[in-house]
Amino acid sequence: MQIKNGKIFFKNQLVERNLIIENGLIKRISNYSASEEEKQDEVVDAKGMLILPGLIDVHVHMREPGDTYKEDFKTGSHAAIAGGITTVIDMPNNKLPTITAQRLKEKEKLAKQKAICDVFFHMGATENNFDEIKKAEPLSLKMYLSETTGDLVLKDKNAIKKHLEIFTRKIVVHAEGQMLIDRLVSLLYKNKKGNIHLAHTTTAKEIDTIKAVSGTIEVTPHHLFLSKKYEEKLGKLTPVKPPLRDEADRRLLWQSLDKIDCVATDHAPHTIEDKEDGAYGYPGLETSLAIMLDAYNKKLLTINWIVERMAINPAKIFGLNDRGEIAVGKKADLIFVDTKQEWQVKGEELETKCKWSPFDAWHLRGKVKTVIRNGKTIYEGGEFVY
Ligand code: NCD
Ligand code: ZN
């Protein structure tokens, strides 16, 4: 496959280049040549498009197994692709939480059968599943210090310390509020400070606390773009963990843009009925990039910031070294983006099974037009074409 006439995000710049894709990988990045084009079985014209690496969302709740009435690997991955996200890392707080090697395997199998994006998994930490973690060798470990959907919360100080001490890859921590984050930092094993990643960080002070021990952090689009005053509009849809913060905190978060390592959606779909019963969480896969592109159009963010936080850094942080940027030898997961297209978010038209969005009715400028996964076009002009 050859992709021509697009502007490619290459070495931190947008440049006009020709891309040659072979066997699911990026084979060559060069200037256009007619003789090269003749050799190709498929030529894709990307005129007017920005070509970015497929995005990586490190915080997603696919809800399968257990809560497939809210989402499953099929609907969740369709939502991801429609949002330009070609890789997700799924969370372990299922009805039967992902805390054993066997459950992790079962999930991997389900995702392979049903998902149209790549799915990796965070394994849940409990008070005593050290052997299971050793056996499963997960990509990362998720530790809940705060109460949330499911019952994975870890209270025992010694268990927390032991996980921090022995797990060598990233440990993603859900800790809400400065007090808990300070507690987490006080428990860090002294030689291994850098391996924590704070999920859905909401304040500038939390960012500084984690950065001081060389950890990494993610923020969600909803904490960047919505604050408490928006809850009036959200009504019964309001509950989310962590809650939306005051407008002053939200503004301070924007002043810490440089320190944010990644944008992750915390895609946490619940039916409207469950929301009315108080369930926490917002869906986000289909709106996150578009919201960032809209902010780019308003000169609030740059394309570099967006690609770094939504592809390059997530790949680096979680060791997904075969993806995250457009470079020779990397996986050919690519998205074509029209930064000028105007559209309106309509919850009922989304791919997610829950069919609503906290950004419902927002007018946005910027949209994903085409998604290429493993060198194959699977989404084009709003339609799935695989
Ligand atoms: C998440 C969910 O519903 O699984 N909800 C949320 O409000 N963020 C749980 C979580 O991310 O901790
Ligand atoms: Zn979550």
Tokens of residue 219, six digits = 């923020």
26 and 113 assigned to the same domain: no
Residue given tokens 């408490």 in the structure block = 228
Q: What is the largest CA-CA distance in the chain?
A: 66
Q: Is 266 noted as a catalytic residue in this protein?
A: yes
CATH of the domain at 169: 3.20.20.140
134 and 238 assigned to the same domain: yes
**Catalytic-role residue among 266, 294, 333, 338:** 266
Q: For position 386, what pLDDT does the model report?
A: 87
251 and 338 assigned to the same domain: no
By residue range, what is the domain housing residue 30?
Answer: 2-51+331-384
211 and 99 assigned to the same domain: yes
266 and 225 assigned to the same domain: yes
191 and 246 assigned to the same domain: yes
86 and 173 assigned to the same domain: yes
Does the residue 322 lie in any domain? no
Does the residue 323 lie in any domain? no
Residue 56 Cα distances to 83, 206, 260, angstroms? 11, 23, 15
Q: For position 192, what pLDDT does the model report?
A: 62
CA distance linking residue 2 with residue 36, whole number of Å: 9
Name the residue at shortest CA distance from atom 5 of ligand 1: 281
pTM of the model: 0.98
Residue 339 Cα distances to 80, 254, 284, 302, 366, angstroms? 18, 22, 19, 12, 4
CB-defined site of ligand 1, < 6 Å: 61, 93, 148-149, 174, 240-241, 266, 268, 280-281
Q: Considering its fold, how many domains does the chain have in total?
A: 2
CB-CB neighbours of 361 under 10 Å: 10
CA distance linking residue 126 with residue 141, whole number of Å: 10
What residue type is 361 in one-letter code? A
201 and 79 assigned to the same domain: yes
Render each residue's pLDDT in the chain as its tens digit; 386 residues. Answer: 999 999 999 999 999 999 999 999 999 999 888 888 888 889 999 999 999 999 999 999 999 999 999 999 999 999 999 999 999 999 999 999 999 999 999 999 999 999 999 999 999 999 999 999 999 999 999 999 988 888 899 999 999 999 999 999 999 999 999 999 999 999 987 666 669 999 999 999 999 999 999 999 999 999 999 999 999 999 999 999 999 999 999 999 999 999 999 999 999 999 999 999 999 999 999 999 999 999 999 999 999 999 999 999 999 999 999 999 999 999 999 999 999 999 999 999 999 999 999 999 999 999 999 999 999 999 999 899 98
260 and 147 assigned to the same domain: yes
Q: For position 32, what pLDDT does the model report?
A: 84
182 and 266 assigned to the same domain: yes
Q: For position 176, what pLDDT does the model report?
A: 95
Tokens of residue 249, six digits = 């905190």
235 and 361 assigned to the same domain: no
Atom of ligand 1 nearest to the CA of 281: 7
Q: For position 193, what pLDDT does the model report?
A: 65
Residue given tokens 């910031």 in the structure block = 305
